[in-house]
Structure 1
Amino acid sequence: MAGRQFGSAGVENAEQCMQKATLDFLKKLKRNNNRDWFGDHRAEYDAALADLHETVDQIIVATARFDSSIKKSLKAKDCVFRIYRDVRFSKEKSPYKPHFGALIGPEGRKGMLRAGYYFHVEPGGRSMLGGGLHQPPGPTIQKIREAISRNGQAMRKIIEEKKFRDTFGELDGESLKSAPRGFSADHPEIELLRLKSFTAIQKVPDEVMLDPKLPDRAATVFRVLFPLNVFLDRAVLAK
């Protein structure tokens, strides 16, 4: 299930776009993904990372206006993922990710058990805005499935709302081939119960990443996702 392309709606407040040099650095890194090249271009990486942090800080401020779980103390340094790839258990042995990513949520990038907002920077139209909860572990997804089983209509109302559909299309990700353990195959919400992740994404073209209104445009997308994150967090945090 693919996400939608970025729309034109936004609110006018923050002004901080990604710099073209940042996208150019990522393009060059993809072509030269080795330690020698990276070392020779360390200054470019440092400048790109600083640009990313400035943008993410602005997005955090814009998102915190409607989501009280995003605290004023949260900073980009808490949200941005390392560019260094963990190659120990991966077939992909290139040492660096050809993109930047940040998870904006109550605990930043460490809060993988809470719903959040994801900002992904990758040139060539591969940047993304989205969020939700990606592949939660067994006990966490069990809580979400129990919430769906009790009140799946509430979640379905969120994801079938016109603005959600126009922004994201459908939920993104894989599903189980059969009903999860403990749930009937003929449950009325079996499609939602079979999901492995509860995420939605929107592809963002490069020209939008370079738009000075990027932080507020990102927050506009995240606001559409907000009701889904509330549903997921209530399920996860339930005693």
Structure 2
Amino acid sequence: MIQTQTLTFLKELVENNDREWFQENKERYEAARENVIAFTAKILEGLHKIDPAVSADLDPKKCVMRIYRDIRFSKNKLPYKNNFGVSFPTQGSKNGGVEYYLHIQPGGKSFIAGGYWMPEAEHLKAIRQEIDYNADDLKKVIDDKEFIKLFGEFRKQDQLKTTPKGYDADNENIDLLKLKSFIAWHPLTDKEITSNKAVDQILKAVTKLYPMNVFLRNALA
């Protein structure tokens, strides 16, 4: 489970987002990071069993993203993120893109997600083509009552204001074809993420995300 001390560190980091405070609390950061790495390792054990495209050889340390922000081209000059991000990439798609993602942030802002966020042009074209040819396969997943209960309405993501090139406005699947991203996410409260059932709850959500990721990987194969 994620320890309450890890969330407390992140809360205090938001209030003290500067290098001096961070250096003074470096040991607390390292302890929090080790907690996230250990949690990631537990998730990986079950994740590979659900989706074999998640390599069993993934190093949990490499899955945990850096807390240091790249501020070179950002107006926001705060040096540190206010969360721990964990990326679980999958195999079987060109240049990656389809993954599972765990976000750990206090205040009920944690979540588990899957899919492909903002695909590059070539990948977006391939996914739209797959939807055009095999939309029923995707709709079977995203219209499932349990999927909607966990993740909400898949179609209610950021969409193009215009019809994508090569498709008609009256296409029966135009709402899916106009999507800019193909993701689903399930929120996790602080109580849930720090519970001893957190890993099981996350893996339960992953079982519902898995067929969606398979559809997206097939589009890119």
Q: TM-score, normalised by structure 2?
A: 0.95
Shift of 1:90: 1.7
Percentage identity across paired residues of the two chains? 37
Match of 2:50, SS state, is coil
CA 1:99–1:89: 2 relative to 1, 3 Å: same
Counterparts of 1:1-239 in structure 2 under 5 Å?
A: 17-106=1-90, 113-171=96-154, 173-237=157-221
Rounded Cα–Cα distance in structure 1 between residues aligned with 2:185 and 2:50? 19
Per-residue Cα deviation, 1:138-196 (whole angstroms, up to 9, x for no partner): 00111000000111121111100111011111126311101111211111110000000
**Structure 1: where are the runs of 5+ without partners?**
1-16
More displaced stretch, 198-207 vs 164-173: 164-173
- Specify the code of the residue in structure 1 equivalent to 2:66: R
Rounded Cα–Cα distance in structure 2 between residues aligned with 1:182 and 1:93? 41
Match of 1:233, SS state, is helix
- Determine if contact 1:120/1:127 at 8 Å carries over to the other structure: yes
- Determine if contact 2:159/2:180 at 8 Å carries over to the other structure: yes
Match of 1:144, SS state, is helix
Rounded Cα–Cα distance in structure 1 between residues aligned with 2:32 and 2:61? 14
Rounded Cα–Cα distance in structure 2 between residues aligned with 1:195 and 1:89? 27
Q: TM-score, normalised by structure 1?
A: 0.88
Rounded Cα–Cα distance in structure 2 between residues aligned with 1:183 and 1:198? 18
- Determine if contact 1:113/1:136 at 8 Å carries over to the other structure: no
- Determine if contact 2:89/2:96 at 8 Å carries over to the other structure: no
Q: With CA pairs under 8 Å and 6+ residues apart, which has the higher RCO, 1 or 2?
A: 1
- Determine if contact 2:111/2:187 at 8 Å carries over to the other structure: yes
**Structure 2: where are the runs of 5+ without partners?**
none
Rounded Cα–Cα distance in structure 2 between residues aligned with 1:88 and 1:186? 44
Match of 2:106, SS state, is coil
Rounded Cα–Cα distance in structure 2 between residues aligned with 1:152 and 1:179? 17
- Specify the code of the residue in structure 1 equivalent to 2:10: L
CA 1:200–1:124: 2 relative to 1, 3 Å: same
CA 1:45–1:112: 2 relative to 1, 3 Å: farther
- Determine if contact 1:112/1:133 at 8 Å carries over to the other structure: no
- Determine if contact 2:18/2:79 at 8 Å carries over to the other structure: yes
